[in-house]
Structure 1
């Protein structure tokens, strides 16, 4: 029952977001175009509910010659690929705004596990243990307010599984407001979004 309510909330809030944030979208589009060559939006294949695939939308933060389908942390000297505007977008999480459209069309939810790259097999497999692949991926989630870029894969998957187990209105409210405070404080954000982990520098910021 709640999943139906959750979808209705997603549609309403994403539609409001697209309208209210239209001016900010326009400003960011102009800034990205002035800063570097290439398209404004970046599309990337991600894993959705039940391990289906979809194209996630983000504002482009890297140069167009960046190797494709490679997590930032696996690039050699990733800072060389991130644009000046991209650093700002990543630090403030504004690069994620186009995902409001992914939410509106039903590919994502506002709250849920961050969608893994299609080739992040270790994360996908670990999430399978906790049932985290069986809920819609989200713009932000329980793991994002409990570590974000600094989380190791097993910890992130466990937190995603905890969300899947406790999914409900109050859990979503906690994640929503927790995200606001985390973004304002830049909690768990590694400069450039390279996702340095405590153990092996695995990226959560995707």
Structure 2
């Protein structure tokens, strides 16, 4: 019933948006031409076909608002694109005002999004006050079950209320009677009775993969009952970071260590990197020439320093920097990092390193696709070999393109890394960035870099 209401509501909003846009375009007039009426009708029909296929009307309980908003926006843009195809194929472009069409797209989008945001806001306050909740039984009283319970209790506005923790092994082991204030149930017959009396809406199986017998027992017992069964596998001991669920050849799969973001999501970042790199390289070309001459005069040797680094998925590339040290003969042994008061650093090099101007040529790496403006800093390959088996998650940093600046750098983790603890802290910030990446997070890091990131006490 609600699904039909929501569909009709969206159709009404699209039509209303077109009428309001027409009023704005033609000084309050609502008289539509035949072509305009046709466009409105076919957009409404397209919405009825496209919106359900993109999951607009499924339950979004427990999902953040931005995901719903982005999905609705994507669905509406798909309808707009299909409408444009129809207009062009029927040669109606000259019968429809481009300005009116553009205004219709914007106004209708607002009418589709704003009511949803208001409804979610009302639901948030209702659920925060304890109403509109779904009763959940968590199966598993172990450490992972307790972690799931803590997560659920911390997200009360999501609309899930834990009513029981079920674990029939607890009674035999003389286990606790409650977990974080939620009673523990050990009798399977009691669980069945509660489910069939409609006291339970959902059962979350927070169990290791080895508990296959328990999982099958619950699925078999409740397969004909109207209770949602969700399996939250405990893969903490196996998975590194990304534990999303996906499909491979129509088979369900849990990602244990994969690229954190699909390529289409990174297109805005990819495009921004190229534009930003050009915006830096072209105006600063005179500065590049001046710095190149200064480096050349400071000591014999090339202007640019090149060193092998790992890029995305471990692919090697030559990173570019202005040379800041005297050229020395090649020696075997471990790589020696630059340190404070290092005698190898030239006078010009000291200034370049202190101001981070030696990093400017890396915008060439960005333009070539080796690097991104923002991302984990790439280390020397010798350091990769040293730390990859010592610091958890170290090599996962190379699942995305390395950056000129990053979340670790703007938080003070730059320069020399002699201690493992210092590298662990740097990696921790890098992994946080990967897990929480958004385009606007990149913008934040760039702004922080512009304000305070070029000069730092750890840069030498």
Bin for the TM-score computed over the shorter chain:
0.7 to 0.9
Whether the 8 Å CA contact 2:377–2:403 is kept in 1: the answer is yes
Q: Does the alignment pair 1:106 with 2:106?
A: no
For 1:179 and 1:166, locate their aligned partners in 2 and report how far apart those are by CA, in whole Å.
18
1:181 deviation in Å? 2.1
For 1:30 and 1:139, locate their aligned partners in 2 and report how far apart those are by CA, in whole Å.
23
Q: Does the alignment pair 1:17 with 2:272?
A: no
Written as runs of structure 1 = structure 2, the 5 A alignment for 1:35-54 is 35-54=298-317
Match of 1:116 in 2: 379
Gaps of 5+ in 2: 1-263
Deviant stretches of 4+, over 4 Å: 66-69
1:128–1:50 distance in 2 versus 1, CA, 3 Å: farther
Match of 1:5 in 2: 268
1:2 deviation in Å? 3.1
Residues 65-121 of structure 1, C-alpha deviation per residue, up to 9 Å, x if partnerless? 165772424x7x862100000000000000000000000010000000001111112
Whether the 8 Å CA contact 2:375–2:405 is kept in 1: the answer is yes
Residues 129-156 of structure 1, C-alpha deviation per residue, up to 9 Å, x if partnerless? 5832211100000000111336700000
Q: Which has the higher contact order (CA 8 A, sep 6+)?
A: 1
1:127 deviation in Å? 6.1
User: Which of 403, 407, 412 is the aligned partner of 1:138?
Assistant: 403
For 1:44 and 1:21, locate their aligned partners in 2 and report how far apart those are by CA, in whole Å.
23
Q: Does the alignment pair 1:26 with 2:297?
A: no
For 2:324 and 2:298, locate their aligned partners in 1 and report how far apart those are by CA, in whole Å.
10
Match of 2:349 in 1: 86
Whether the 8 Å CA contact 1:127–1:160 is kept in 2: the answer is no
For 2:336 and 2:373, locate their aligned partners in 1 and report how far apart those are by CA, in whole Å.
23
Select between 116-125 and 134-143 the one with higher mean Cα deviation.
Answer: 116-125
Match of 1:173 in 2: 443
TM-score, normalised by the number of residues in structure 1? 0.83
Whether the 8 Å CA contact 2:354–2:456 is kept in 1: the answer is no
User: Which of 313, 317, 321 is the aligned partner of 1:58?
Assistant: 321
1:92–1:8 distance in 2 versus 1, CA, 3 Å: same
Give the secondary-structure state (helix, strand or coil) at the position aligned to 1:175. Answer: helix
For 2:388 and 2:379, locate their aligned partners in 1 and report how far apart those are by CA, in whole Å.
7
Q: CA RMSD in A?
A: 2.2
Whether the 8 Å CA contact 1:44–1:57 is kept in 2: the answer is yes
1:141–1:29 distance in 2 versus 1, CA, 3 Å: same
For 1:5 and 1:84, locate their aligned partners in 2 and report how far apart those are by CA, in whole Å.
40
1:123 deviation in Å? 3.7
1:25–1:105 distance in 2 versus 1, CA, 3 Å: same
1:63 deviation in Å? 0.3
TM-score, normalised by the number of residues in structure 2? 0.39
1:124 deviation in Å? 4.0
Residues 3-59 of structure 1, C-alpha deviation per residue, up to 9 Å, x if partnerless? 111010011111121101101001101111111110000000111111221110000
Q: Does the alignment pair 1:163 with 2:433?
A: yes
1:149–1:58 distance in 2 versus 1, CA, 3 Å: same
1:162–1:66 distance in 2 versus 1, CA, 3 Å: farther
For 1:129 and 1:23, locate their aligned partners in 2 and report how far apart those are by CA, in whole Å.
38
Q: Does the alignment pair 1:153 with 2:423?
A: yes
Rg larger in 1 or in 2?
A: 2
For 1:188 and 1:51, locate their aligned partners in 2 and report how far apart those are by CA, in whole Å.
30
1:28–1:9 distance in 2 versus 1, CA, 3 Å: same
Q: Does the alignment pair 1:189 with 2:458?
A: yes
For 1:168 and 1:188, locate their aligned partners in 2 and report how far apart those are by CA, in whole Å.
28
